[in-house]
Amino acid sequence: MNNSTLTYYAAEGYKIVRPEAIYGRGSLIANGEPLHEGGFTAVDAADIYGAGSELVASGVEELFVPALSHAPLFHLLLFATLVIYFNMLYRSWGFIGHLYRDMFTMRSESNMIYQGGLLPLQHFKQVASTIGFVILALVALRVADGFIPASSPIYDRYIAPFASVGALFIVVVYLAWYYATHKIIEWVTLSDVAPQLSAMGYMHFVRISVVLYPLVAAWLLGVESGDGSVIVSVLAVAAVVMLILYLKDTILFFIDKKISILYWILYLCTAFLLPLSFVAHLLPQRLE
């Protein structure tokens, strides 16, 4: 830009400033010719940010991503189950020993009654099942973290504040469904098959809660470094073994009662798969 052009713009009321006043000290208006052999001018921090400035290398901090498992109620419930579980280990170690020794037989409950009595066994089952129900809700929250993004517009307003209570409520609703299913079966069949199936499922849930709790608690606490794949793998194998034991006991029960295997499949679908599929159907495919 030549002097006549600058004079023209000054006469029109424009304020004429030098490039360094806008872009910093040492700046020039480019005219297409490189100022350096490489096409650039080497500068230091003082040339850009002012006298006394210097570049400092710093590590990049990871962005904090909110999660349902970060809620205070989540950790409070987990801590409560830890305290109750260790107290149960101290007071009911004899019952727990039978759970492990008789894991592959159907005589664990009778042996536990013979050792400790019916009332102490009922108290042990109530405590263990309560731990299992709470842990089931916490596991659901931990799994939901991978499907509900924190960027969802309903996350902060509806999901995060009520997630823990909502998970507990879902577990209670499922328990009501499980109880109603067996009551209806008992009313329709006019037999003791449904109460025996309910008692068998109850005992297996107690065993699962006691045996798998250490692994599940370690996973929820995140005690393993990295992605926790070792704990998840061991937990998955143990859960599959527990499931196979339950399926084995129930199918043997149906065979012993001379009931068709089709009714066994119908029972499993009604008591377990139907409520799970209903919940999966209600959940949105994607939250954004």
Q: Does residue 183 register a pLDDT over 80?
A: yes
The pLDDT confidence band at residue 17, using thresholds 50, 70 and 90, is: confident
218 vs 16, which has greater pLDDT? 218
Per-residue pLDDT at 280: 72
Per domain, the residue ranges of the chain are: 3-49, 68-282
Quote the DSSP letter at residue 95: H
How many CB atoms within 10 Å of residue 211?
A: 17
Query: Does residue 288 carry a pLDDT above 60?
Result: no
pLDDT tops 80 at residue 8: no
Asked if pLDDT for residue 229 goes beyond 80, the answer is no
pLDDT at 251 over 90: yes
Of residues 179 and 287, the one with the higher pLDDT is 179
Rounded to two decimals, what is the model's pTM?
A: 0.69
pLDDT digits (tens, 9 = 90+) for 209-226: 999 999 999 888 876 555
Q: Is the pLDDT of residue 86 over 90?
A: yes
User: What confidence category does residue 150 fall into, taking pLDDT thresholds of 50, 70 and 90?
Assistant: low
Number of Cβ within a 10 Å radius of residue 215: 17
How far are the Cα atoms of 60, 177, 242 from residue 65, in angstroms, in the given order? 15, 35, 34
What is the DSSP track for 152-221?
STTIIIIIHHHHHHHHHHHHHHHHHHHHHHHHHHHHHH-SSHHHHHHHHHHHHHHHHHHHHHHHHHHHHH
What is the reported pLDDT for 47?
73
Q: What is the pLDDT of residues 37-84, one digit of tens each?
A: 555 566 777 777 777 777 776 655 555 555 677 778 888 999 999 999
Backbone φ and ψ of 72, nearest 5°: -60, -40
